[in-house]
Amino acid sequence: MKCTQYFSFIRQRPDRAIIKEKWILDTIKKPVKIEIQSDGRQRKWKFIEGAGKYLRVILLEDGETVHNAFFDRNFKEEGK
């Protein structure tokens, strides 16, 4: 998995260290929602059963380099 130096650093925080690489890859491959930011970065969300929360993954413009990943407490899936 490609990631930025920022993500490598921030991933060491206790609240981020619990996020499994498998969850990040699943979110990238099968998101429930995708948004493109004005700077070209992609936001992707997926509900993670093992955590009981939605994970948000931010990718760079290339669509594969992870810049950030965190549990999004405010995300609500449309239609649910």
Give the model's pLDDT for residue 77: 82
| Alpha carbon separation from 45 to 5, 9, 51 (Å, rounded) | 22, 22, 14
15 falls within a domain: yes
Rg, Å, the chain Cα set: 12
78 falls within a domain: no
46 falls within a domain: yes
Q: In whole angstroms, what is the distance from residue 36 CA to residue 23 CA?
A: 20
Mean pLDDT score, 67-74 = 96
Total domains in the fold of the chain:
1
Give the model's pLDDT for residue 80: 64
pLDDT, tens digit, 9 for 90 and up, residues 9-54: 999 999 899 999 999 999 999 999 999 999 999 999 999 999 999 9
Residue numbers of the domain that contains 35 = 5-71
53 falls within a domain: yes
Give the model's pLDDT for residue 35: 96
